[in-house]
Amino acid sequence: MLFQGFLNLNKPFGWTSHDCVARVRKLLHLKRVGHAGTLDPAATGVLPIALGKATRLLQYLPGEKAYKATVRLGVRTTTDDLQGEIITSQPCTGLNLAEVKTALSQFEGKIEQIPPIYSAIQVEGKRLYDLARQGQTVEVPVRTVEVFHIEILDWREGDFPELDVAIACGGGTYIRAIARDLGAVLQTGGTLAALTRTQSSGFYLANSLTLNELEAQLQVETFQPTTPDVALQHLPSIQLPTTSAQKWCQGQRIPLNFDVYGIVRVYEDTHFLGIGKLQDEILIPQMVFEPIS
């Protein structure tokens, strides 16, 4: 069976995003498999995976993400999480939740963030984590990211107090960097102790599948990928009459007077054809997913 669409995968601890893609490719006997939004090996949770021609639709998924994170204070590490070497470790028993709340408020809204030196960001064509492992010192570019909301879920006192938070944010936000920078503001040091992505690109943890669950569904032939129509429902849609739809699928631009501009889903009746761009009352093909037969 040829699968086309999206898999909402619950990534296991210790697996890289590439490991997950390789496993899904093998299970589904499918060459074209890709993922949206890399997750660190130590993180778990939602990893959207595109199957078949849907890999070309990854760029059109929504960018919002949400996480449940545990920050450990009093500790700094090389990777800004517990997978790295400890740089400093100093008990901070005098710290209280009120101080933490005040400091945490600085990380909502649009903020300037320096990604961890162990990250997949490229500098001059090379991944930062490769450069860091080679012992090279590079200047990590500052980026502007947006954090929509941070909610404190739990606070555990002790020599190295821990804070559980729920974070809703835009794409490109590093939760490890928030943990590190929160520790810097509090002058205690901080690192990420645990991370689960609860939402990514329109997919939610509640209806995700583990690799074992995916394999079980495949064995009894009940697995159904999420269709592009569902995954891209945040985009406005346009229906074309059959004649115009055929021309559009052949790469022709279609004159169209419509009150929406930008990226849209394109249909012929209820048949999803692909992605177009409305500009100056012209519908321009961007990606033809399923031409009219």
Taking only the tens place, the pLDDT of each residue in 218-235 is: 999 999 999 999 999 999
User: Strand pairing partners for 262?
Assistant: 278
Domain 237-288 sits in CATH at 2.30.130.10
Residues sharing a CB contact under 8 Å with residue 11, sequence separation 6 or more, in sequence order: 17, 20, 39, 43, 44, 45, 46, 47, 197
Tens digit of each residue's pLDDT (9 = 90 or more) over 173-207: 999 999 999 999 999 999 999 999 999 999 999 99
- Domain ranges in the chain are 5-62+202-220, 65-200, 237-288
Q: pLDDT at residue 135 above 60?
A: no
- Amino acid occupying residue 88: T
Burial track 33-47 (b if 16+ CB lie within 10 A, e otherwise): bbbbbebbbbbbbbb
pTM of the model: 0.91
Our answer to whether residue 130 is catalytic in this structure is: no
> Residue 205 carries which DSSP code?
G
Burial 143-163 (b: 16+ CB within 10 A, else e): eebbbeebeeeeeeeeebbbb
Fold matches, 65-200 and 237-288: no
Task: Using the predicted structure, report yes or no on whether residue 128 has a pLDDT greater than 60.
Answer: no
The active-site residue, picked from 40, 80, 81, 181, is: 40
The partner residues of 24 in beta bridges, in order of sequence, read: none
**What is the number of residues in the chain?**
293
Distances (CA, A) of 224 to 52, 184, 214, 221, 238: 13, 46, 10, 9, 25
* Second CATH level (architecture) for the domain 5-62+202-220: 2-Layer Sandwich (3.30)
- Backbone φ/ψ region at 22: left (φ over 0), alpha (ψ -120 to 50), beta: alpha
Name the least confident of 23-37, 90-104, 117-131, 226-240.
Answer: 117-131
Strands 75-77 and 86-89: antiparallel
Class for the domain spanning 65-200: alpha beta
